[in-house]
Structures are given as C-alpha cells and as structure tokens.
C-alpha cells in the first residue's frame, strides 16, 4: 500500500518474484488518476507487448477509463510511435519499416561489399554484434570507439557508419535504432524534448533491472526534478546482461535520483515456502544486490525433488515418465514447464515427450514470422508501404523467379549508386530503357513495378488481408508453390493462408478498438511480436523454453534439467564473477517460476558436440539447504556415478571472492552468503575416467 500511495519523490519498488508488482504499478496509476492526474499526463513503460496489454487493461478497469486513452507500452512501441510522429526531424518519414535480424545481416553484407571488407574473414554476425552493442549503449557512429587491438571492432565501426546511412536512405530502422534515433531526437531537438517533458509529468517503468544504457539515457533526458518517477524491478532477476541490460541502473537508483525512496515487496503470492527458501538460499550468495528475503503466508509445500542420472537420455526419459504419470492420474499437461539453460538441451526431452505422446510446444524455436515464405510476403508488403527499402527489394526482386539474373540486378544497383536513389527507383530507370537489360529482364522489371503501383492504389481502399492475397496471386508466388506439389510446398501454402488469416484478425481487432488497420500498422505489430505473447493459460501442452524466455511466467510444476557445472552455470562464466552472479540470478528466476512442485536433475554424462563429457552437480544445487531437498527417486547407481557423499565441502563460491568492481558505490547492503548446502561431489581421480573421455576442469578447461 505504501508504494501505491507514495507521493511525487522518486520511488524504487524492489519487487521480488511473485510479489504482485503488476498489481502495485496498476493500482499506483489508478490512484494517481483518481486523485486528479489526467490520463494523458503519465507514461508507463514495460518490456513485452503482453505485459503492456495486461497493464493497460487492468488499469483501465480500475480507473473506469477507455484503455486507448492510457499511454502504456513497451520501450520499442513508444519509441516507434514517437518516430512516426517526429521522425522527419531525424531523417525518417512516418512509413519507415523495421528491419529484423535477417534484414540487418543482408544490409551489413552489402555494406561490406561497398567497403571491400571480406565477409569470410569478418563474419556479418560478428560485425552486427558490435553494432548492436554500440546501439544498446546509446552510441551513434561518431561516439562509438572501436578497440585499437580488435580488428573486428574496427571493421564493425566502418560498417556501422555506412549501415546507418543506408538505413536512412531506405527509410528503415532496426530494433536498436528505434531507441537510439529516439534518443538522438530528444537530445538534439529542444522543441520535441520540451513537448514530451511537459506532456508527461509522471513516468513509471516496469522491469527496471532490464534497462540498458540507451533506455537509461532516454529516461534521464525525459525526467527532470519536476517529474515524478516510479520504477519497479528486481535486481535478483536481472538476466539480460548479454544483450546490454545493466544491473547498475537499479543498484544506483538512489544515487541517480536524490531523495528517492526504496520500498521492498517480499511477500510472495505464487510459490510454497520451500521453493522460496531454496531461492533465497541460492541468491544470497550474490554480492551485487540490495538484499531481500521472500516469504509466503501459504503452505510450506513439498521438498524440491533432485534426481541424478547417468546420461541425458535417462534424464529425458525420467522427465517424460513423470509427466506421463501425472497426466494419467488426471493432471494437465499445461501445468508443466521444462526450463533449460541452452536450447540444445531440449532434444532428448522432446524425444521423450514425443515417444509418450505428450503434447508439448517449444517456445523460442522458429517463429511463424521467421519462415521463408512468410518473410517473402512481408518483404512485398514492406516494399509497398516503403518503396525506399532496398533490403526488401533485394529479397523479392527475383522471388518468385522472374528472369532477372545477377548481371541485371548489378546494373540496377550501379544506377542506384550513381544517382543516389533507392533500388526500386533505379529499377524504374531500367524499365524506361535507361539501363542496358535484355527484353525479358526489362519486362520482368516492368511487371514488378506495375504490380507494386497497383497495390499502392489498392491500399487506399482495400482491407489489408485482401491486398496481401492479391500480391501473392499477382506475383505468381502461390502458383509457384502449387506447381511444386510437394508436402513442403503445401505447408508453405498453409502458412501463407495463416498469414492472411492473421492479418484479417488483426484488422478486426484493431477496428473494434477504434484504431486504424493498415499494412503499416500491421507491419509494426509483427515487428514487435513475440511468440511468448501467445502463451495462454488454457494451452494444454507442456511448455519447453529457455530460462531466459521463462522470465515473468509461472507454472504449477517446473522441471530444471541440466543442473551441472559447465552447463549451469555456463562454462564461460566460471572465471567471470559478474557472469557467474548473472547465472545465479538465472537460477533464481527458474526456481521461482514454480508454484508448488520443482524438479531439478543432472546427468553425469552429457554429449557435447557429439562427444561424451563428465559433469559435476551444479554449485547452485549445492547452495540449497539439505532439509529442502528430497533425493528419494534417485537410484543408488546414479548416486554412485556422481560420487555423492553424505557430507559436503564448502560451496565453490568463496565468501571473500565477491566482485564489486562493476557496481557503483552506493548504500545498498548485500546479504551475507549462506552456508553451503548438502550435496558434495567427490573429487575425481584418475581411476574415475576411461581413456578418451572428454572432461572439463574449472580452471584448465576441456581436455
């Protein structure tokens, strides 16, 4: 209640897992509205479409307002809206398109060609990594500093500069640009900055621990001493360091915003006390935290179930058997989630579930919108909306095949470079005879331009779904797939039919909500979509996903397989204290997804790149107190394989080994590490290994 009723000074709500932070933030907004704040005077920001949708609907219901009147959205969604409105001030018009990863890589390859950078020596994905890193830090090309000792970063910096130029020429942004160009806009345009500062008097940010540098910088520009700022987050759930999230943002909040008040939410409404006690014990070994202890007034609950296996196949089969037995006794598959550290772990579990005819879905696999035929259709749509998008032109110029060879396309590119125009405009010159093309190639270009022109006219009157149907028919794309007559082509036809249905559904939903359904608004919806947004409470199948993907979700029954040193925590973090603490936070997230039943397991032998590798039980298992864990279902054979002892040695995390170098000086107090837990792994001797066995040493690596 204190967080809901708090006044206007900066507020940090440190909300532990399952403590009802969404309820707090929605009630706080409703309280502000009931006390006279106009709906257009606040901005609430979160990280997923699903979270934003839930927050908007719950707040509207509490405040008895139209959801459309509330400024609640994701960072990317809100920045996208600002760029649609003010983008001309940073070189974009309102019909800009959003490039995905494939589009980025395609453009990076073209930039490399123009800069004579060998993509065999400097992989486009590696160059993209540096560019994304600079954007996450809020650095435009002039501000980015390549390392003098890193040739890849030097090449990436050259590409970054040209890449940004080409994006503007194509009237396109990527995900990083949506934030970076908005930051540039509010920093450089005083009129826009003052307009936004005067528009929003109250700003509320959910999942603050996940903010990166560019998001933090954006907030610092928008928030002045006259603004009320509320942030809600959990430092113990900061797990996105690899994509730029900075835990320091939440740890130094009180220093960044003088006069800030800290309120802890520690009562959990999701899990049993046993599960919470295990999570508390594990996370207490981290130093980079403000410290809190989760509790519940609910039941103590069952012990955590720890099972050890000789192989990953045995582990997968046991998980399948447990779920099958639960379903046969009347349980629901939809109550179960299997959460793993790496996607590669899913295969033996998938196989086990499939053999037992257990319905399951892998989240984070190949998304519907990532399938080739769907991406081809979207490229046509984007080219209709934004004729300057060279990446989309290159994708569809000869799809389906229309007789345009490499020579013809190269000549069109040459004209585009000479005249500094888009590829589509250069194709127009080719159709008029300004470019030397064969008659067949010229007709193909003319037909393509004619189709795009007709479609742009249809877009003024026709429904989006009908427009896409016409594109697929007029281009011959559907005819191409029908002619193939294979099972794969039939699946692709089904996917395109599903795409049209999805567009029709979007149109109906948008228009019912009073919005405008156009090809452009649909493209933005797709670009910001996540397959996890589709996870519904009534989906009756086992959910398989990575621990990162599971954040924010909850399930009655959770399996955490692969609790092994080198896998979880990941081998690359074993000598990286900051990385190791992030792995521990990831474990904390996994444990706290479970409502009443948590299974953990480890395999003594796991195949890595086709080679068997011996493993030890994860230190995170060792950090759970003995009294919270049952090993009743683990065979003596598996215990012997791991060399488990009744006592145990100290935890692998030393009491005096914590890092503070990455954490700003502040007044937060880290909770002291707890005593080690129950499951010591006996040190391996030479007799423990057969010749040829792959082994991993925490210091010396693989051998």
What does the alpha-carbon distance between residue 420 and residue 154 come to, in Å, rounded to a whole number?
26
237 is catalytic: yes
**536 CB-near residues (< 8 Å, 6+ apart):** none
21 is catalytic: yes
Q: Which residues pair with 564 in a beta bridge?
A: 617
3-class secondary-structure state, position 606: strand
Q: Is the dihedral of CA 520, 525, 528, 530 positive or negative?
A: negative
211, 215, 230, 237: which is the annotated catalytic residue? 237
19, 21, 211, 307: which is the annotated catalytic residue? 21
440 is catalytic: no
Q: How far apart are the first and last CA of the chain?
A: 56
What does the alpha-carbon distance between residue 397 and residue 685 come to, in Å, rounded to a whole number?
63
Structure-token match 């006219």, residue found: 457
- Report the chain's C-alpha Rg in angstroms: 27
22 is catalytic: yes
Structure tokens at 606: 């796991």
56, 110, 395, 593: which is the annotated catalytic residue? 593
What does the alpha-carbon distance between residue 678 and residue 345 come to, in Å, rounded to a whole number?
26
3-class secondary-structure state, position 566: strand
Structure tokens at 211: 């903010």
* Among the listed residues 315, 303, 366, the one whose alpha carbon sits nearest the alpha carbon of residue 340: 315
636 is catalytic: no
What does the alpha-carbon distance between residue 354 and residue 357 come to, in Å, rounded to a whole number?
5
215 is catalytic: no
DSSP for 361-418, written as a single string: EETTSS-GGGSHHHHHHHHHHHHHH-TT-HHHHHHHTTSS--S--HHHHHHHHHHHHH
207, 235, 582, 622: which is the annotated catalytic residue? 207
- Polymer length in residues for the chain: 703
Structure tokens at 538: 């009534």
Q: How many CB atoms lie within 10 A of CB 18?
A: 22
Angle at 246 between CA 159 and CA 290, to 5 degrees: 175
19, 22, 273, 634: which is the annotated catalytic residue? 22
What does the alpha-carbon distance between residue 603 and residue 342 come to, in Å, rounded to a whole number?
15
* Among the listed residues 254, 306, 320, the one whose alpha carbon sits nearest the alpha carbon of residue 12: 254
**357 CB-near residues (< 8 Å, 6+ apart):** none
Structure tokens at 236: 């113990």
**Contact, 287 vs 270, CB < 8 A?**
no
3-class secondary-structure state, position 45: strand
| Backbone conformation region of residue 495, classed left if phi is above 0, alpha if psi is from -120 to 50, else beta | alpha
Structure tokens at 6: 């708090």
103, 132, 206, 210: which is the annotated catalytic residue? 206
Catalytic residue numbers, as ranges = 21-22, 206-207, 237, 593
């Amino acid at each position: 209640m204190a967080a809901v009723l708090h006044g206007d000074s900066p507020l940090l709500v440190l909300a532990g897992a399952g403590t009802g932070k969404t309820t707090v933030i929605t009630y706080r907004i409703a309280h502000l509205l009931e006390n006279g704040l106009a709906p257009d005077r606040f901005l609430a920001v979160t990280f997923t479409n699903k979270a934003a949708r839930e927050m908007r609907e719950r707040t509207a219901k509490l405040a008895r307002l139209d959801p459309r009147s509330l400024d609640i959205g994701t960072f990317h969604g809100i920045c996208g809206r600002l760029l649609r409105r003010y983008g001309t001030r940073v070189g974009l018009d309102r019909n800009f398109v959003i490039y995905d990863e494939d589009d980025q890589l395609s453009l990076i390859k073209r930039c490399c060609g123009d800069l004579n950078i060998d993509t065999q020596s400097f992989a486009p994905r590696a160059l993209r990594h540096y560019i994304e890193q600079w954007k996450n830090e809020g650095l435009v090309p002039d501000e980015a500093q390549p390392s003098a000792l890193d040739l890849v970063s030097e090449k990436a910096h050259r590409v970054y500069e040209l890449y940004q130029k080409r994006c503007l020429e194509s009237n396109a942004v990527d995900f990083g640009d949506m934030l970076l160009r908005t930051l540039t806009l509010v920093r450089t345009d005083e009129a826009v900055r003052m307009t936004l500062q005067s528009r929003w008097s109250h700003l509320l940010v959910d999942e603050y621990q996940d903010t990166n540098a560019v998001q933090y910088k954006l907030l610092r520009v928008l928030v002045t001493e006259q603004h009320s700022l509320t942030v809600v987050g959990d430092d113990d759930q900061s797990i996105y360091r690899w994509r730029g999230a900075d835990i320091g943002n939440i740890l130094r909040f009180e220093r960044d915003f003088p006069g800030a008040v800290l309120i802890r939410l520690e009562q959990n409404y999701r899990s049993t006390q046993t599960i919470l006690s295990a999570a508390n014990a594990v996370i207490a070994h981290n130093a980079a935290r403000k410290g809190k202890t989760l509790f519940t007034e609910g039941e103590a609950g069952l012990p955590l179930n720890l099972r050890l296996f000789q192989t990953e196949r045995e582990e997968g089969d046991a998980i399948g058997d447990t779920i099958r037995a639960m379903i046969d006794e009347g349980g629901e598959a939809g109550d179960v989630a299997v959460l793993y550290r790496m996607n590669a772990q899913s295969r033996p579990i998938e196989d086990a579930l499939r053999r037992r005819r257990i319905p399951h879905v892998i989240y984070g696999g190949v998304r519907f919108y990532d399938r080739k035929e769907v991406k081809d259709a979207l490229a046509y749509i984007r080219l209709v909306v934004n004729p300057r998008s060279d990446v989309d032109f290159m994708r569809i110029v000869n799809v389906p095949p229309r007789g345009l060879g490499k020579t013809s396309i190269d000549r069109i590119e040459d004209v585009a470079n000479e005249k500094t125009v888009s590829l589509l405009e250069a194709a127009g010159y080719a159709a008029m005879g300004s470019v030397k093309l064969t008659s067949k190639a010229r007709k193909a270009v003319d037909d393509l331009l004619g189709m795009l022109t007709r479609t742009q006219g249809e877009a003024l009157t026709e429904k989006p779904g009908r427009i896409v149907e016409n594109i697929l028919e007029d281009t011959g794309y559907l005819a191409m797939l029908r002619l193939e007559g294979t099972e794969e082509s039939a699946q692709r036809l089904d996917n395109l039919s599903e795409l049209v249905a999805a567009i029709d559904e979007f149109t109906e939903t948008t228009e019912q909500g009073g919005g405008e359904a156009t090809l452009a608004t649909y493209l933005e919806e797709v670009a910001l979509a996540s397959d996890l947004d589709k996870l519904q409470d009534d989906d009756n199948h086992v959910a398989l996903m990575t621990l990162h993907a599971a954040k924010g979700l909850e399930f009655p029954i959770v399996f955490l397989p692969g609790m092994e040193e080198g896998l979880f925590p990941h081998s690359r973090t074993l000598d990286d204290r900051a990385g190791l603490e992030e792995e521990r936070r990831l474990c904390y997230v996994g444990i706290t997804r479970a409502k009443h039943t948590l299974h953990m397991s480890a395999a003594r032998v796991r195949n890595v790149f086709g080679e068997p590798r011996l493993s030890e039980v994860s230190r995170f298992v060792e950090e759970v107190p003995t009294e919270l864990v049952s090993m009743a279902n683990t065979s003596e054979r598996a215990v012997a394989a791991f060399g488990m002892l009744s006592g145990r040695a100290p935890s692998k995390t030393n009491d005096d080994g914590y890092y503070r170098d990455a954490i700003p000086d502040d007044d937060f107090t880290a909770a002291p590490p707890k005593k080690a837990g129950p499951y010591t792994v006996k040190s391996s001797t030479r007799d423990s290994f057969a010749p040829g066995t792959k082994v991993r040493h925490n210091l010396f690596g693989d051998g």
